[in-house]
Amino acid sequence: MGVSISEHWSVRDVPDLLGKTALVTGANTGLGFEIARIFAQHGARVILACRNEEKALKAAIALRDLAPNGVVEVQLLDLASLASIEACSNRVLASESRLDILVNNAGLMAIDESRTVDGFEMQFGVNHLGAFALTARLMPLLLATPGSRVVAMSSMGHYGGHMHFDDLMFERHTYHRWPPYFQSKLANLLFTAELQHRLGPNAPTKALAAHPGGSRTELGAEGSGVSNFLMRYLAPLGTQPAAQGALPAVRASVDPTAKGGDYYGPRYMVIGRAVKQVPSKRARNMKDAAQLWDISEQLTQLHFPTSL
């Protein structure tokens, strides 16, 4: 019996993306750079939405060399600022006639305690609320593009996540760097589940999610904790290349067989080919998903288009 494409999907299965437009957050390095590279090498117009302009422009130059058939542009975006998200979204809505793929890739992991410009705990603010706000503002363009997809980059760390609805910003609990991260990655999956639920089966847009397993990136190296030290020096020894870790998100973005709500990750959790997986029971709790959605709308003061 032959092995199905579902089990042995690879970059060779990425379809022609000529005429498609993709926006990837945090695309100047790591997973985001590799996702953008694959899109561009298959003919897509790719928007690198990044906080650091200098690094983003260097990444764009590198991608244009690697993908001469693609078109690569840069947009400044700081997910720790709702004003920056609004400004970036307005520029994209004004300049683009379509948006086929939105990959909410940018994120922070296990950082020292800090707050966003708007006062949110930094990991929840960037990893969840920033992605929520960007998706809300770009949703009209996504809905106007048949077959479009929103892909959330979660983590296998979501299995350790709990939604602290009584203290989402860790203002009353003692701050430790990992619980807020796990919570934010669980929030990514709850957001995806609720977004797909609200879109329904017949909408022009689908919501999907992915996780990269253990991949060699800069994520987790920031910070002064012991775990940050270990991430800097030991994690590279047991992880897969970022190019491999990018494939679950790429598959969620382009696989024609993927359905709304699907979740992809490495076959062996930490490493391996991109396959469909089942998120944790907590990530499938639709009551929590609805509650998180309502709170997110209140905190960002944004409401998704009524056509949802």
Per-residue pLDDT tens digits for 111-159: 999 999 999 999 999 999 999 999 999 999 999 999 999 999 999 999 9
Q: Which of 159, 175, 181, 263 is catalytic?
A: 181
State the pLDDT at residue 306. Answer: 60
State the pLDDT at residue 133. Answer: 98
State the pLDDT at residue 4. Answer: 40
**Would you call 181 a catalytic residue per the annotation?**
yes
The single residue listed with the structure tokens 């690198």 is: 48
State the pLDDT at residue 15. Answer: 97
- pTM of the predicted protein model: 0.91
**CA atoms of 252 and 154, how far apart (whole Å):** 12
Contacts of 261 (CB under 8 A, 6+ apart): 192, 193, 196, 206, 207, 208
State the pLDDT at residue 264. Answer: 97
User: Which strand (E) or helix (H) includes residue 293?
Assistant: helix 286-300
What average pLDDT does this structure show over 217-227? 52
**CA atoms of 270 and 266, how far apart (whole Å):** 6
What average pLDDT does this structure show over 77-84? 98
Contact status, residue 96 vs residue 89, Cβ threshold 8 Å:
no
Residue spans per domain, the chain: 11-300
Q: Is 32 exposed, middle or buried (0-12, 13-18, 19+ CB in 10 A)?
A: buried
Contact status, residue 16 vs residue 40, Cβ threshold 8 Å:
no
Q: What fold does the segment set 11-300 form as a domain? A: Rossmann fold (3.40.50)
**CA atoms of 109 and 216, how far apart (whole Å):** 13
State the pLDDT at residue 238. Answer: 53
Please tell me what DSSP assigns to residue 11: G
Q: Is 11 exposed, middle or buried (0-12, 13-18, 19+ CB in 10 A)?
A: middle
**CA atoms of 132 and 297, how far apart (whole Å):** 9
What average pLDDT does this structure show over 208-234? 61
